A and B are shown apart, each in its own frame.
Chain A
Amino acid sequence: MKRLIALLALVLALPLAAPVLGQDTMPPAPYAYQQLEDPALEAKAQELMFTLRCLKCQSQSIADSDAPMAGDMRHQVRTRIAAGEDPEAIRAWLVSRYGDYVSYKPHLSSSTWPLFAIPVIVVLVAGFAIVRRMRARK
C-alpha cells in the first residue's frame, strides 16, 4: 500500500518535475499578449493579425494561436503598427518571407484569378439563361 501511494505521488509529481519537451520556457515577446496603448492602433493590428496565418498551427490565425512563434509574430505586427507602418506593408513583408501562404487575404495573381473570375462568369451565364427562358415563355 505504501509503495502504491509512493508510486501515485511520483506519477502525480512527474508533470511538475519534467521539463516540457519541445517547448521553450522563455517569457513571451513584450507585445505578444500586451495590447497597444492606442485603441485605434490596436484595432488596426488586430484586423491584420486575424488575416495572418500561424506557421506552427497552420489552420489558425496568429491572433488565435498560443504558439510562441505566433506570439512573436504578433509582437512584430504590434511594434510595426506602433511605429507607423501600414498594415498592408507588414503583410507584404511577411509574404516576401513566407510567400502568399502566410496571408489569409486572397489577392489577384496569375494563379488566383479564377477565384475572382469564376463567380462573375457564373452570374453572367445564369443571368443570360434566365433572360432567355423568360423570353421563351412570352
Chain B
Amino acid sequence: MRKVRIGLWVLVGIATFLFGLFAYQLSQPKEEFVKSAMVGQEIPAFDLPAASGSRPALSSADLADGKPKLLNIFASWCVPCAAEAPQLAELERAGVPIVGVAIRDREEDVDRFLATYGNPFTRIGRDDISEVQLSLGSSGVPETFVIDGKGRITYQHIGDIRPEQVSMILEELRKAGA
C-alpha cells in the first residue's frame, strides 16, 4: 500500500510539473516574427523586372558585385515602409548601396511612394506574386537583408528600421565587409 501511495505522489508531481510548464509557456509573450532560415546562405537566383521607371531592374547577379549592400523589401501600400524611409535615406547618405524589391505593387504607386518618401534605391525589382520574398524566407514588409559582396545573406532585419537601429545596421554591413 505504501508503495502505491508513493507512486500516486509521483503522478501528482508529474501532473503539477506539466500544468506549471503549460501555465508558464502560455503566459510567455509569443515571438511573432518568423526568422528566415536563409541567413548565412547564398541568395537564391532571381531576375525581377523593374518596379519603377526611375531605376533599373534587379537580379541576383547584381548582388554579387563585390560590395556589401542592403536589400530592402517594401511596398507602396505598406505603412511602416514609409516610416523607415528617413532611416534608409540616412543609410544612403552614409554611402550604403540599397536595392529594393517592391512586393505586389504597381509602377505608378511605387513612383508616387518614392516621390513622397524619397528614393534611396539603386535598383528596384518588382515581385508581383511574392516569389522572391518567399525564396528569401521573408514573411512581411518591410524587411531588410544585409548581403555581402559575394551575394551571401549575412543578416535579416524584420520590420521597419528605427532611427536608433541605423548604427546597428551599419555595424552589420561592416561585419559583412563594407
Contacts and interface: CB of A to CB of B under 8 A. Distances in A.
Contact of A97 (B37, B105, B109, B128): B37
Contacts of A30: 129
A68 B37 contact: no
Given A29-B129, A76-B134, A23 B37 contact: no
A22 B140 CA distance: 11
Interface stretch (B21-29, B74-82, B89-97, B162-170): B74-82
Interface residues of B, number: 26
Contacts of B103: 24
A63 interface: no
A60 to B, nearest CB: 14
B135 A97 contact: yes
A58 B32 CA distance: 8
Given A72-B129, A76-B131, A98 B105 contact: no
A26 B130 contact: no
A56 B130 contact: no
Interface string A22-66: 111110011000000000000000000000000110100000000
Interface in B68-120: 75, 77-79, 103-106, 109
Interface in B6-41: 32, 34-38
A76 B129 CA distance: 9
Contacts of B36: 97-98
Interface in A52-96: 55-56, 58, 68-69, 72-73, 75-76, 94-96
Contacts of A97: 36-38, 134-137
B34 A99 contact: yes
A30 B131 CA distance: 13
Given A58-B34, A68-B130, A102-B34, 11 more contacts: A21-B77, A22-B77, A25-B106, A29-B129, A30-B129, A58-B32, A68-B104, A69-B130, A72-B130, A96-B38, A97-B134
Interface of A: 19, 21-26, 29-30, 55-56, 58, 68-69, 72-73, 75-76, 94-99, 101-102
Interface of B: 32, 34-38, 75, 77-79, 103-106, 109, 128-131, 133-137, 139-140
18 contacts: A19-B77, A21-B79, A24-B103, A25-B109, A26-B104, A26-B105, A29-B129, A68-B104, A69-B140, A72-B130, A72-B133, A97-B37, A97-B136, A97-B137, A98-B36, A98-B139, A101-B34, A102-B34
